[in-house]
Structure 1
Amino acid sequence: MDRLVALVGADMARVNAMILSRTGSDVAMIPEVAKHLINSGGKRLRPMLTLVAAQMFGYRGEGHIKLAAAVEFMHTATLLHDDVVDESDLRRGKATARKVWGNQASVLVGDFLLGQAFKMMVEVGSLDALDILSSAATVIAEGEVLQLAAAKSMTTTEDKYLTVIGAKTAALFSAAAEVGPTIAGLPHMRAPLAQFGTDLGLAFQLVDDALDYSGHEAMLGKRIGDDFREGKVTLPVILAFARGTPGERAFWQRAIEGGEAGEGDLEIAADLIRRYQAIEETIARARSYASSARAALASCPVGEHRLALEEVIDFTVERAF
């Protein structure tokens, strides 16, 4: 992502400064919890998409800084809430906020960050940008509830899984990219950038789900096998379950649905996923969405910004493989 980082470096420094200033509060726990996660080493890909999209279409104002910060706050809030729902203890190799401060603090600080995000959106003064990001917030929440309803259910279909990740992950990628041409005053470019973001987000999540059974903790930012331990039914599991023998399906039902995963079961799960080429097929799906994301950029101006976005697509799919 070197080209992207170079293009948005100066603007990203301003976004980071704004993020730090907007986590200030007289309630001491709020900046402590927020900064714990904000400083934990994420790539900040989503706000960088907002910045590069605004630059690509010639935007010259200040609104993209606040919108990028708002996008990062939305993302951070969902991570805080996710860790509570998933009962996660680690995030990017560090103890999660819920592990340090408890579930209540994590949820409430997440709510504070969402409030700050919407405040910044209003300050920008673009009703269209506010509509895009507020709609994304609604879709993300719907995705969380849908995932909760489908959790630990081996009846989850590939279509339902794609609906969940489309809402939970791709919606914010899509909104982050779409607000760039929106504030630049080019409404006809909203749909292509939204489609790019959706496809990129789907590819990103598919690769993450594959890496949970085949990657390295340093690349993934969490323990390998956390999805399995948390009973998440991701595409590698769906594919292995569909192709398995009755005995193998009984294993998935015991470990995932029954919540009875024990010592050595992660290794069994990973072996079944390898046996049925579920990782390869998951990555193939990701590459298909990556191709669609690249096609969505065809109407964008040729130059460094478009090339940077194309390289982000490559990075998303090829990381750790």
Structure 2
Amino acid sequence: MTSTPLSRPSTAPTSLSYADIQSIVADDFEIMDKQVFGSLNSKVQLVMSVSQHVINAGGKRMRPLITLLCSRMLNDVPSKEAMHLAAITEMLHTATLVHDDVIDESGQRRGKPTANATWDNATAVLVGDYLIARAFNLLVGFQSLPLLQLFSDGTCDIAEGEVLQLQHQHNPSATEADYLAIIDGKTSRLFMMATQGAAILQDKTEHLDALADFGQHFGNAFQIIDDVLDYSGDSEVMGKNLGDDLAEGKPTLPTIKALALLKDNDTVGFDKLRIAVQTGKTDDAAALIALVRESGALEYCRTRALEETALAQQALETLPDNQYRQGLYQLTELASARLV
């Protein structure tokens, strides 16, 4: 069988939509989406109310979509197990968002009130804990030690990535290596779990390495793009203000690279940005955002995001060539198009 050639990533506008990609596995996705809610079975009404609130406020369900695409790519038949695993993946993702909102003291996510703002921090943290516990309770039902190992190791990595980010909060000396270690845990690891979990379910373990590479590099690209948009995106679309990451002292690649470039070319600008990172005081946010933009950091980050996208696409080349692989490829293109 001749493999369809995969082209280099492009930031050219695309007419392809997320709904188009989702339609490839439309029936599976609809069942999975219902299972996300149907899997909640707490006897405590507050747990149910908060869980339903945060899941309803969820995004596009990209991680479970990846699981469904991977499962169909490896074995093109409906798989209740894959749909169930995809729902569990979304449950874990939702739990990490709930905890993130508490740490960041966020009042809104995607334009909707967060759980910690609607109730309080303690309630949000405990419900996040419940979602993680419930996800593992459901994972036991697969009676698969490799699957449990993948998700337990991955969840530890996610937690470590979050702690590492906290460790480097307000640290102007954080490096690109520090940043990559953070996003490998807090973002990319769940993408890897979404891809590799499907291979374990379908008993296609010969594809585990390629799927891990795809998940890691796509996750890296996705996070770098998100961080670029914190300085160049549309605050209405993102559901947060530009420069929020800077105010929170997060060690993101645009800030790290801007500091490195300003240190050699603009000592006054370097000191302004360094102090803002250290203190979180961004009273003149527009000027600080302009510093980052004018430093050349965003161009560097865009290049890095496209490099990671290309590596993700390269990883797909050894996988079965069908419409589902093409859907994964199109997801990477759609993510890259956000850089325009």
Taking structure 1 as the reference length, what is the TM-score of the superposition? 0.96
Q: Is the 8 A contact 2:235 2:242 kept in 1?
A: yes
User: What is the aligned counterpart of 1:84 among 102, 117, 128?
Assistant: 102
- In the alignment, is residue 275 of structure 1 matched against residue 294 of structure 2? yes
Residue 246 of structure 1 aligns to which amino acid in structure 2?
T
How far apart, CA to CA, are the structure 1 residues paired with 2:237 and 2:225?
11
Where structure 2 has 5 or more consecutive residues not aligned to the other structure, the ranges are 1-17
How far apart, CA to CA, are the structure 2 residues paired with 1:225 and 1:94?
19
| Alignment match, 2:309 | 290
Quote how far apart the aligned CAs of 1:125 are: 2.0
Distance 1:44 1:226, change over 3 A: same
How far apart, CA to CA, are the structure 2 residues paired with 1:168 and 1:4?
25
- In the alignment, is residue 260 of structure 1 matched against residue 260 of structure 2? no
Q: Is the 8 A contact 2:224 2:305 kept in 1?
A: yes
User: What is the aligned counterpart of 1:17 among 34, 37, 42?
Assistant: 34
Residue 67 of structure 1 aligns to which amino acid in structure 2?
L
- Count of paired positions: 319
Q: Is the 8 A contact 2:259 2:274 kept in 1?
A: no
How far apart, CA to CA, are the structure 2 residues paired with 1:158 and 1:320?
20
Residue 86 of structure 1 aligns to which amino acid in structure 2?
D
SS in 2 for 1:314: helix
How far apart, CA to CA, are the structure 2 residues paired with 1:320 and 1:92?
19
- Which range moved further: 58-67 or 174-183? 58-67
| Alignment match, 1:116 | 134
User: What is the aligned counterpart of 2:54 among 29, 37, 59?
Assistant: 37
How far apart, CA to CA, are the structure 2 residues paired with 1:248 and 1:150?
21
| Alignment match, 2:11 | none
Residue 94 of structure 1 aligns to which amino acid in structure 2?
K
How far apart, CA to CA, are the structure 1 residues paired with 2:58 and 2:158?
23
Quote how far apart the aligned CAs of 1:40 are: 1.7
Equivalences for residues 43-192 of structure 1 within 5 A: 43-58=60-75, 60=77, 61-192=79-210
SS in 2 for 1:43: coil
- Which range moved further: 82-91 or 120-129? 120-129
Q: Choose between structure 1 and 2 for higher RCO, CA contacts under 8 A separated by at least 6 residues.
A: 2
Indicate the percent of aligned positions where both proteins have the same amino acid.
Answer: 37
SS in 2 for 1:118: helix
| Alignment match, 2:249 | 231
Quote how far apart the aligned CAs of 1:59 are: 6.2
SS in 2 for 1:299: coil
Root-mean-square deviation (CA, aligned residues, Å) is 1.4
How far apart, CA to CA, are the structure 1 residues paired with 2:127 and 2:80?
27
Taking structure 2 as the reference length, what is the TM-score of the superposition? 0.90
Residue 155 of structure 2 aligns to which amino acid in structure 1?
A
How far apart, CA to CA, are the structure 2 residues paired with 1:149 and 1:239?
19
Where structure 1 has 5 or more consecutive residues not aligned to the other structure, the ranges are none
| Alignment match, 1:4 | 21
Q: Is the 8 A contact 1:67 1:124 kept in 2?
A: no
